[in-house]
Amino acid sequence: GTIQSSVDGMILVRWRDVNGAKSYNVRVWNEEGKEVKNFNAPKTFTYLKNLPVDPKQKETPYYVVVTPLGDTPDIRGKDSERKTLAMLPLRNLEPPTIKSIQTEQEEQPQ
């Protein structure tokens, strides 16, 4: 399914370790097919953040592909399947509603 962003606008993308891979190339495209991120990750996960969000849409779609890399730049594995990401508008928490206020009872003079 689609990987959705958290309330703070981050997406955790994880993948299985590939035997012999030293790092992984992560590429992200927007809905129009323009590449918006291209970087290497040393582990089997990465966080995507700061992807632009269209406030008029319920969610802004992106696509991600991960490619295993070997010891040298010319050693590349096969691309992963293309996975859909959904950046949701940032949701700030609503302020709480105060239900009641009580004060301590004043002491009676003796």
Q: pLDDT tens for residues 50-75? A: 898 887 888 899 999 999 999 887 89
Extended strands (E) in 1-110: 3-4, 10-14, 23-30, 35-41, 45-49, 60-69, 83-87
Q: How far apart are the first and last CA of the chain?
A: 72
Least confident of 31-45, 71-85, 92-106: 92-106
Q: Please, which residues have CB within 8 angstroms of residue 42's CB and are 6 or more apart in sequence?
A: 22, 23, 24
Whether residue 92 has pLDDT greater than 60: no
